[in-house]
Amino acid sequence: MSEAAPRAMLAMRDVVRTYRQANERLDVLKGVTLVVAPGELVGLVGPSGAGKSTLLHLAGLLEKPDGGTVTVDGEDASRLSDGDRTALRRRAIGFVYQFHHLLPEFSALENVAMPQMIAGVPGRRARDRAEELLARVGLGARLTHRPARLSGGEQQRTAIARALANGPRLLVADEPTGNLDHRTADEVFSMLAGLVRGGDFGALVATHNLEIAGRMDRVLEMRDGRIVEQIR
């Protein structure tokens, strides 16, 4: 008997998202279907206005679809109350953005420990995990440094460690290397890819950098609110 396939970390089925502005209707997503498996790095490319950011917001449970389903770690978010959706987002999803959004008055260690403590993890355990994660992203010697004393690449590595602090099942990243020079972007992406492929979570990464997109496991191209091509 063959082994069962691992449960998808993200499954979006026929997802539709529409906005209304005055008397106009704007169809941003027009029936998007995709799956992200554990250990898989899936890229999302396409021109500005294609719907990438909206898709990431829905995948991250920051917005609700107007049609279709979004399932994260086996839970259909459309069946959850607002409070349960928020709890699922905090438990199962980590976010990385183009800008690191670190809190400037806190050290790297404190920035990574904080989301754990908000989730109820005791301070000592949160700091231990923060130290472990920062060591994994190559910042073991920068624990006490505040963001202003970190390079751009180090700031983004800290942001990635923070996104992983609560052990998410899905990492949602919007242009995570877009604010970095070519060499630093390559280093940060290589580190991120190693974490995903060596872990039990999946990642959906929007990028305009086609060189980086080509190093992912799969690439989905979006145009006019639809996925028009899957590139392996």
What does the pLDDT read at residue 36?
94
In this prediction, the residues of the chain whose per-residue pLDDT falls under 50 are 1-2
CA–centroid distance for 180 within its chain: 18
pLDDT attached to residue 2: 44
User: What is the C-alpha separation between 118 and 69, in angstroms, rounded?
Assistant: 29
**pLDDT score for 1:** 39
pLDDT per position as a tens digit, 133-153 = 999 888 899 999 999 999 998
d(CA 214, CA 231): 9
User: Domain spanning 10-231 has what CATH number?
Assistant: 3.40.50.300
- pTM of the predicted model as reported, rounded to 2 decimal places: 0.90
Written in H, E and C, the secondary structure of the chain is: CCCCCCCCCEEEEEEEEEEEECCEEEEEEEEEEEEECCCCEEEEECCCCCCHHHHHHHHCCCCCCCEEEEEECCEEHHHCCHHHHHHHHHHHEEEECCCCCCCCCCCHHHHHHHHHHHCCCCHHHHHHHHHHHHHHCCCCCCCCCCHHHCCHHHHHHHHHHHHCCCCCCEEEEECCCCCCCHHHHHHHHHHHHHHHHCCCCEEEEECCCHHHHCCCCEEEEEECCEEEEEEC
Which pLDDT belongs to residue 232? 65
